[in-house]
Amino acid sequence: MNKPTLVLLILTILGIPDMLHAQNEPGTPLVIKRVEGKIVLDGQIDESDWQAADVADNWFVNFPSDTALAPFQSEGRLTFDDNFLYISFVCYDDNTPDVISSLRRDFAYELNDNVAVAIGPYDDKQNGFFFGATPTGVQLEGIVTGGGIRDDGFNSFWDNKWFSNVVRYPDKWIVEMAIPFKSFRYRSDVQEWNISMVRWDLKRNTLSTWIRTPIQFEAASFPYSGQLVWEDPIPDAKTNISVIPYMAGNTSTDNEAEPVDRSSSLQAGFDAKVAVTPSLNLDLTVNPDFSQVEVDRQIINLTRFEFQFPERRQFFLENSDLFDNAGYPGARPFFSRRIGLARDSSGLFQQVPILYGARLSGSLNEKWRVGLLNMQTQEKLVFGLPAQNYTVAALQRNFWTQSSFTLSFVNKASLNVNPGDSTKFFGDNVFREIQSGDRTQLKPNTYNRVLAADLEMSSRDTRWYLSSYLGRSFDEFNEGENWSGLIFTRYRSRNFSMFVGHNFINESFNPEAGFAPGIRVYPGQYGFFTNISTPFFPKNVRINRMAPELMFRTVYIPGGINTDRSLSFMYDINFTNASQFTLEYNYVYQRLTSDFSLIDSDRFASFQEGEEYAWSVVSAEYVSNPRRLFNYTLGASYGGFYNGTNLNVTGELGFRYQPYGNIALRFDFNDLALAEGYGDEQLFLIGPRIDLTFTDQLFLTTFIQYNNVLDNVNLNARLQWRYQPASDFFLVYTENYLPGSLNSKNKALVFKATYWLNL
């Protein structure tokens, strides 16, 4: 019997776990003291300052069961000096091989053994930063928003400079971190910080936390955090300015142009981060270039709605919740991907040059937060776009424990657009048709604005949650009602979860700088939705959790006409080996509010406004054990689809050569058999991905995506060399081909070098 298991057995016999429950409840203090000597990141923690530090011990399991101490314990310690916040972890272990999918920085949290800390330096249980490391020393960092209780509460796209070292021993692995105070925002007059610690022991499918967290709640979220108590004064925030200059060059060939267009360019620019106050940051960018950002994974979209791709550009990420969380998923007043990105004729996103941008965001004090953004784009005639300016402002008041009220304002302006420019500028609703007497003419659409208010309230233990929103848009064409709104409430306990909500979007509501896919489909809408889930945890050696779930949604348009109804029943099974199986039944009803072409309106008949369709679909999905070197996700569905049927098979096959390489093959196949004249089509997308991590500083990622809907084969290869912390050299090659012949449509080679300089 190994040492950790023996200790756990003795504690259980003595009844000690019941005594420890009270010790690791939310709010448990952890004292931090200033170092008297010097901390060396050597993975030994034998310095006297580490030995004198408070210890965050007695970690509890959160998953797969939340009723016991972790079988393999962890210990966390913190100390500091004038320049660094030091954090160490001792993660007790045995000689079972670690599960490490990659050596790439910002690793996939759920696919790697790792330990992490989240700190909330404003003591508001809402906002903060997290830092983590794997047993091989790979780093992960990101931001925490909304207390970490939402699906998007932890964002790992944020990047910064910090230092760490990990050393493996036969019975443990030790992590030492040195995080510069210059690398994150904090208030030196706040004497207590929120702090949570979490360890994902993937090889044993066990998630443990320092603060005991019930299984139904997010591990490491701030409602279930301790309090970091500063015994010695926090260092005053000093001048905190980071400048990240870059140089980039590219050469490209467009074989579809007449004649063939060959071009090359060299450009430079910079980003800067300026700490206006210890907790208020100013981000600046001049002539930014995002060519190194990973390409979007293509999809086959058989719905009537636009698909929302995630934001990955670094400039938009810190404090992004202030800008992006206004509204609700069906009506967001602001969506940052509207800035500097536009679809080309192949349906792929291409860059629109941004001339400059400024972004002020952060906390004024423990109760008030502010966000202000201004971006200027350049005229881009190939996409029919004029020069445009975007301004976003948000003011947030925090109250109670995890509650807030936010006012937001969004303004989009198209510059130097005249009535005679309608053939020059045609993209992005730059012109609109208006009726003037007996004739129709085009009028410039020079501005669009949205004013919004959001209220979020949560109980201290997050069992109860309420969200409400009201927004109104303004432009030169607003006639009639132009409001949108939502009220939503949720209750969540160990064995029962329910939410219910109501939303509406008036016919004239138009957030052009936001994301509201329904406004192109419905002439105004209002709807109701609800979800009920009753998870339970059977005492079974193979099954960890089962969760039947019932979902209902209905949508109406003005006049009380029901246009959409959906009823779903899902049964989800989580196995103790970390695999998962889901079985689902869906009933769908639609009454079309506009003509709709599912495949190709030039070859097949379109569905017409006013037509009604109803169908049922049965689907199943299996996610294999992610700890195995070969792992996969397979899903299939079959049932009706408008006036025909659809067989869908989707999934991803992956093989891990630990820890240096990952090969994955993603696919999506749809066999549509519609009524005569509407088309019998087989639509498929296939996307192999090769991810090689030669070292923890040198990475190569290659995507190949073939989509017969777009009739395009896309190759994207990206080499990244992190030659210094937070400083990179990128080499990116992109080419698009014609399927079949594989003749090149266009290609480009780009290099980009960045350097992170702290002043």
> Where do the structural domains in the chain lie, given as residue ranges?
3-230, 303-521
Which stretch of DSSP H or E encloses residue 49? helix 48-52
In tens, the pLDDT along 585-614 reads 999 999 999 988 887 777 888 999 999 999
Mean predicted lDDT score pLDDT of the chain? 90
- 3-state class of 583 per DSSP? strand
- 3-state class of 485 per DSSP? strand
In tens, the pLDDT along 202-248 reads 999 999 999 999 998 889 899 999 999 999 999 987 777 889 999 99
Q: Which stretches does DSSP call E strand in 301-446?
A: 341-343, 349-351, 354-363, 368-377, 388-399, 403-414, 431-436, 439-444
> Which amino acid is it at 112?
N
In tens, the pLDDT along 170-208 reads 999 999 999 999 888 887 788 899 999 999 999 999 999
Phi, psi of 52 (to 5 degrees): -90, -10
In tens, the pLDDT along 106-145 reads 888 888 999 999 999 988 888 889 999 999 999 999 888 8
What does the radius of gyration of the chain's CA atoms come to, in whole angstroms?
27
What span, in angstroms and rounded, lies between the C-alpha atoms of 426 and 576?
Answer: 55
* pTM for this predicted structure: 0.85
CATH 2.60.40.1190 fits 3-230, yes or no: yes
- pLDDT reading at 44 higher than 50: yes
- pLDDT reading at 345 higher than 80: no
Contact call for residues 615 and 640 (beta carbons, < 8 A): yes
What span, in angstroms and rounded, lies between the C-alpha atoms of 457 and 467?
Answer: 6
What fold characterizes domain 303-521? Answer: Porin (2.40.160)
* Greatest C-alpha distance within the chain: 90
pLDDT at 437: 64
For the chain, helix, strand, coil in percent to 5 are: 10, 55, 40
In tens, the pLDDT along 700-712 reads 999 999 999 888 9
Please give the residue that has the higher pLDDT: either 652 or 596. 652
